[in-house]
Amino acid sequence: MFLESAKKSGCIEVICGSMFSGKTEELIRRLKRAKFANQRVEIFKPKIDVRYSEEEVVSHDANTIRSTPVDSPGSILLYASDVDVVGIDEAQFFDNSIVDVCRQLAGSGVRVIVAGLDMDYLGNPFGPVPELMAVAEYVSKVHAICVKCGDLANHSHRLTKSDKLVMLGEKETYEPVCRHCFNGLRKSITE
């Protein structure tokens, strides 16, 4: 009887890091565990992210989970009624209203798990992810391995000449590098 009347407490969890660090893999792992526990789960991703699939969240090692692509964070509120857990991938591609959406969901008792890049290709805070990190109860920063020296990588170095902030890509477009190698690469670009 006590468990039935207890108020469910929501929370925000953020999984962040560079490209190829395992953010989406960790998101999928947590969501699959919630499903295994018979929790009602909904997963969302930005409609613009069609690199591997239009309707699935896919990690770089091809682990998948069904998702709903949305144009804007507000749409998540429409689709996320009567759920226990909401997963959101590629949060950096949403506008800052994703922060309020996550707060509303958590405030209504939903566990919200968000994955996204914390820094852009220039090493600057990226989109709403830093603000999400500030309001989250839990933050997990995951790391790739630097392709130049083998240290832990926390930067996504862009291999192409484009200066567009948002540019979807994979191994042909980005590589993970550590702080030292990133600073050396950025210095050689500006010289």
The three-state secondary structure class of 97 is helix
The Cα 33–Cα 183 span in angstroms is 38
The Cα 100–Cα 165 span in angstroms is 23
The Cα 159–Cα 173 span in angstroms is 5
The Cα 14–Cα 28 span in angstroms is 13
Known catalytic membership, residue 90? yes
The Cα 104–Cα 107 span in angstroms is 5
Q: Which of 55, 90, 131, 172 is catalytic?
A: 90
For the chain, report the end-to-end CA distance as a whole number of angstroms. Answer: 69
- Catalytic residue numbers? 90
